[in-house]
Structure 1
Amino acid sequence: MSQLTHNWKNYWQMRWSIFSYNYGWSDYVFLFDGWIAKCSMAVPVVGYLILFNDSISQHLSFNTLANENILKFGASPTTRLKLIYFGLIFLGSANILYRLRRPFVFKVGTNQFEYVERALKHFTVSAYIDIHGEIRTEGHHTLHGKYYDSEYDSFLNLALGEKDGRKQRNEATVDWSGARSKYEGLLRSMLIENFFRNNIKKRMSLTICLILSLAGYLLLLVPSADLFVKILVVTLR
């Protein structure tokens, strides 16, 4: 039994280590940047007018569909409306926090594939110089960051021109399109490393976004579940 317990402990330690190493924004962005979260940012303006308008809230019942005037359990129409309102408030807050605190790479793409493809299409050589500097200064996080400096220097010689004896670039030898094509594998490795590096930054903000969004979806689920149960009870009767 002790050996089994030891194996389970090692298994969960390994799983936690993998999770904590890869814990990043791209796996959860769909929760706080989906269409519901985006639309919910308008709730503080229009939702307030609906929530505190008694003439509207009193008519948001399902007496015909769910016999709410007869059933004596579950949430009232007003309670459901409040849950929906606050659920959308939480989702809207998560979306706003995401837009304020998301890593810079998410302005290019919200996942690795999207980021790499757009970057290959639009980035200039100066962007790759900055990325290379960060990788060599901070160290690599993935195997993609273990490329050779000699290959990177060859890329620069083609993208910016060969250096002469005075360390000046010869603009006559510049071939940016050729450099992107010939060294696409190198550029992809640099971009993948850069995306992973930024994806795992600002984890406290990511955790807060997750808590807000999950709380929001839970508050939206409760009214739906309440109405579903009532309709089910009426149907079975």
Structure 2
Amino acid sequence: MDRIFGGALLLKSPTDWKVVRWETVKSVANNDFTRVVGLIPIAGYLILFNDEIAGMLSFNALAGVGGAERSSFLLDGLSKLRFVFFGSLLVLCSFLIYRLFRPEILEAAKNDLEYSELVRQRYSVYELAQIEERVHSESWVERTEAFWMVLGKKRTKKPVVAGFRPDSRTQMFSKHGDYIGFLAREWWVGMMHTYKPARICSLTLGVLGYAMLAVPSLDIAQAVLRHILTG
């Protein structure tokens, strides 16, 4: 729907919060740390259910606790291993969901402006026509005001790219460069809203996984600090 503001028509689009869009999910579910953590469940399974190894990882020496002294840790060694194991398992699931459902253009450009520039440099007339057809379809949800509003009026869904020959690409960009740039940005933002259940699931699992991974580190940190301060 449109609304009146300052005498001009403005587009009111159903845009999700950035925190639950694919560009944010990527920062949580697909980074260098995620790829390393994803390997932990493979080796962690053997460690978690090996009593001898679990007993060795009490971390008491690190906190300066020995003999019959009372441990300054809030969690025992096995509990820490469990947090690491299940936390890394959640992070791995978050990564797999992201890889399965994420839009391909997110791997090519990190934001709409970067994608718009990529389109200008590399996309063919045929590819642009396909994007325009999708964006002008009845099923498309309008996202960016910069594309849909022209001088205070709603843009009509009239093809501009369609019908151009591949050898006239330069002429097309010269005549409709701004339109194509905004069209690319509209397409990119729209793709960031696809598969909402997968986005929320991947983000939730990733955040919970990192939280579980942080618990053992926080427990070790507080125990070491207590030893230093009371030492």
Q: Distance in 2 between matches of 1:136 and 1:199?
A: 17
Matched residue type, 1:54: D
Is 2:56 the counterpart of 1:54?
Answer: no
Give matches, 1:89-108, under 5 Å. Answer: 89-108=89-108
Which amino acid is the alignment partner of residue 111 of structure 2?
N
SS at match of 1:121: helix
Q: Is residue 62–residue 224 contact of structure 2 (8 Å, CA) maintained in 1?
A: yes
TM-score by length of 2: 0.76
Partner of 1:200: 193
Cα gap change, 1:49 to 1:119, in 2 (>3 Å): farther
Deviation of 1:53 (Å): 3.0
Q: What count of residue pairs does the alignment treat as equivalent?
A: 207
Retained in 1: the 8 A contact 2:90–2:205? yes
Deviates most, 144-153 or 46-55: 144-153
CA-CA distance at 1:100 after TM superposition: 0.6
Q: Return 5+ residue gaps in structure 1 as ranges.
A: 1-16, 162-173
CA distance in 1 between counterparts of 2:51 and 2:111 reads 44
User: Can you give the 5+ residue segments of structure 2 that lack an aligned partner in the other structure?
Assistant: 1-12
Q: The residue matched to 2:94 in structure 1 has which SS?
A: helix
- Structure 2 counterpart of 1:31, one-letter code: V
Looking at structure 1, the residues matched to 100 and 157 of structure 2 have their Cα atoms a distance apart, in angstroms, of 38
Partner of 1:75: 75
- Cα RMSD of the aligned pairs, angstroms, is 2.8
User: Deviation at 1:176?
Assistant: 2.2
Residues 95/181 of structure 1: CA separation in 2 closer, same or farther (3 Å cut): farther
Choose from 174, 195, 209 the match for 2:202.
209
How has the CA–CA distance of structure 1 residues 64 and 43 changed in structure 2, closer, same or farther, with 3 Å as cutoff? Answer: closer
The more displaced of 140-149 and 78-87 is 140-149
Instruction: Give the TM-score of the pair, scaled to structure 1.
Output: 0.75
1:200 offset after TM fit, Å? 1.3
**Deviations, residues 165-224 of structure 1 (Å, cap 9, x unaligned):** xxxxxxxxx332443355332221011100111211211111111110111011011101
Greater length-normalized contact order (CA 8 Å, ≥ 6 residues apart): 2
Cα contact 2:25–2:202 (8 A) shared by 1 = no
Q: Separation in 2 of the partners of 1:41 and 1:102?
A: 18
Q: Which has the higher strand share?
A: 2
